[in-house]
Amino acid sequence: MPTELPEIVQKTPVHVDLSVVVPVYNEQESLPAMHEALSKALNPLGLCWEVIYVDDGSSDGSVALLKQYAAADPKVAVICFRRNFGQTAAMAAGFEHARGEVVFPIDADLQNDPVDIARMLAKLNEGFDVVAGWREKRKDAFLTKTLPSRIANRLIGHVTGVPLHDYGCTLKAIRREVLQDVHLYGEMHRFLPAFAHLAGARITEMPVLHHARRWGTSKYTLSKTFRVILDLITVRFLAAYATKPIYFFGRFSFWSFGIATACMGWTLVNRFVGHIFVKDQPLFLVGIFFAIAGLQFLLFGLLAEMNMRTYYESQGKPTYFVRERLNCQAPERRRAS
């Protein structure tokens, strides 16, 4: 008599409405209050939710607390890094593991209030893809935090074309399909709205609560303000020239060749009109310098063009973003062999 095969039961994945991503780094003192505040804010929504804590190499008792929360509640997930990789890496890991249709990143120190999640979700449902928090009444030191932040926000808004009041506020509401087109590196988490804008997202902002720090010390230092400028250069390059870097370097190349031509032309005028020998004219050397610089910029542009085409074609990445499709399906993409 043949042995009956056991029935295979396939579990249907649970639909998750929203995911809250909480980067954690030495937040042992604030975690109990934070976890309680999240539960009180999420339970009344009547939605299926999850909280993803990402421990960024904490050296205190944060990991032990997170493990307790995960063991007590299946809606709580914990990701522990082997060492400290930074807030951007923690947020990227949380986004990759998030299953919710809407993702809310939020700090673990309770300076942002989880109560605002419901309000931001309602704002998102008005037809936006990203709702950025704005700490309108910020409870931080003015000279060392608030003032540098305001200057940086104006600069970022002007360069990226997304004029938000508060790029530094972690609390945001983001649709998951937008995050699929956003990749974070370095310390780029503060530029999430700018990257979402590049992907065609509809962005707005709204004032959120901000509380004075009650536990621990701030991980923010004034030196990070200067790093913003360096990151901003990268964002600007990606925004304007990611698929056509030859245009960026070509501009400098043409300017260099133009200056070189002017210097050489003036050298020839002085030689035949003023009877000044070339060796006695410094502009001749200046012209040679700019000619070499122009050639180098042109070669840099060609190399960057080859690298970007390899980046897109080898991974089958599109150079565009689709909001929706009607009566057609997304084409299957495959990596180049």
The answer to whether residue 7 sits within a structural domain is no
- Asked if 261 and 173 sit in the same domain, the reply is no
48 with 191, same domain?
yes
Instruction: Look at residue 236 and tell me if it is in a domain.
Output: yes
The CATH number given to whatever domain includes residue 124 is: 3.90.550.10
Structure tokens of 172? 């945001």
The gap between the terminal CA atoms of the chain, to the nearest Å, is: 50
- Does residue 65 lie in a domain region? yes
Which long-range CB contacts under 8 A does 270-273 form with residues at least 24 apart? none
Contact call for residues 101 and 175 (beta carbons, < 8 A):
yes
Pair (61, 181) in one structural domain: yes
Indicate if 118 and 252 belong to the same structural domain.
no
Q: Could you read off the pLDDT of 204-227 as tens digits, one per residue?
A: 999 999 988 887 666 665 566 667
253 burial via Cβ count (<10 Å: 0-12, 13-18, 19+): buried
- Please tell me whether residues 58 and 139 are part of one structural domain: yes
Q: Are residues 73 and 187 in the same domain?
A: yes
Instruction: Report yes or no on 320 lying in a domain.
Output: no
Same domain for 149 and 80: yes
Q: Tell me the CA distances in angstroms from 251 to 54, 230, 241, one per residue in order.
A: 43, 21, 12
pLDDT at 3: 44
What pLDDT, on the 0 to 100 scale, is given for residue 140?
74
* Within-domain flag for 159: yes
Those residues of the chain that have pLDDT short of 50 are 1-12, 335-337
- Residue pair 186/223 in contact (Cβ under 8 Å)? The answer is no
Q: Could you tell me how far CA 124 lies from the centroid of its own chain?
A: 19
pLDDT by residue (tens digit) across 266-280? 998 888 887 888 777
Measured over the CA atoms of residue 262, residue 266, residue 268 and residue 269, the dihedral's sign is: positive
Residues 249 and 237 occupy one common structural domain: no
Q: Confirm whether 96 is domain-assigned.
A: yes
Residues 96 and 74 reside in one and the same domain = yes
Which of 241, 271, 300 is a domain's end point? 241
d(CA 164, CA 101) in angstroms, rounded, equals 24
Residue where a domain stops, chosen among 198, 223, 241: 241
Structure tokens that stand for 2 in this block:
């043949």
Q: Please report, as a single letter, which amino acid is at residue 75.
A: K
pLDDT at residue 217, as a whole number:
66
Domain that holds residue 292: 245-314
Cβ pair 67, 78 in contact under 8 A: yes
Longest dimension (CA), the chain: 112
Domain identity same for 178 and 268: no
CB-based contact 192:332 (threshold 8 Å): no
Q: Per the domain annotation, does 160 fall within a domain? A: yes
pLDDT of residue 2: 47
Number of domain units in the chain: 2
Domain presence at residue 120: yes
Contacts of 146 (CB under 8 A, 6+ apart): 138, 140
User: pLDDT value at position 218?
Assistant: 64
- Residue 218: what residue type? S
51/92 same-domain check: yes
Is there a single domain that holds both residue 236 and residue 278?
A: no
* Predicted local distance difference test score (pLDDT) of residue 326: 67
Q: How far apart are CA 135 and CA 84, in angstroms?
A: 27
Residue pair 221/148 in contact by the 8 Å Cβ criterion: no
Spatial distance between the Cα atoms of 307 and 66, rounded to a whole number of angstroms? 42
Select from 217, 219, 124 the least CA-distant residue to 170: 219
